[in-house]
Amino acid sequence: MKEDEELEMIKYRMLKDLMKKSFEGKKQIVNKPVEVTDSNFMEIIQRNPFVVIDCWAPWCAPCRTISPIIDDMAGDYAGRILFGKLNVDENQVATTYFQIMSIPTLLIFKNGKLIDRVVGALPRHLLEPRIIQYL
């Protein structure tokens, strides 16, 4: 009986290792903005080579105007740009650290470093070139 249990444990570990190896090096393509919080902010910008974070609030009319543009661009640039949304009312640490004084503000990160910020609700034809110049 004990040998059967040991054999099952070995099979389980081997299967787990195989599954882990099959997912190594494969990034999941995200085609919509991810929720960014104080607790996952650093992980998101460090694990993804190119990130655009939309700093917004539910009561902000210009934020609601730009939201569908961000959603569309997240789909159009899936696999190349990760878009995220940071609610400034609920995430004061990141908001304070990046000195978000006006919303919407887009923070643009490349390889974990802040390289640009866009303040205000711009139409897509003005916003898109500002972001993709860094690709």
Instruction: Name which of 44, 82, 78, 122 is nearest 130 in CA terms.
Output: 122
Q: What is the chain's length?
A: 135
Instruction: Find, among 128, 100, 31, 123, the residue nearest to 71 by Cα.
Output: 31
63 has catalytic annotation: yes
The separation between CA 97 and the C-alpha centre of its own chain, rounded to angstroms, equals: 18
Structure tokens at 11: 């099979």
DSSP annotation of 48 reads S
CA angle 126, 70, 43 (to 5 degrees): 120
Retrieve residue 21's tokens: 């190896």
Q: Are 108 and 52 in contact (CB under 8 A)?
A: yes
Active-site position among 51, 52, 63, 86? 63
Catalytic residue among 52, 55, 60, 108: 60
Active site residues: 60, 63
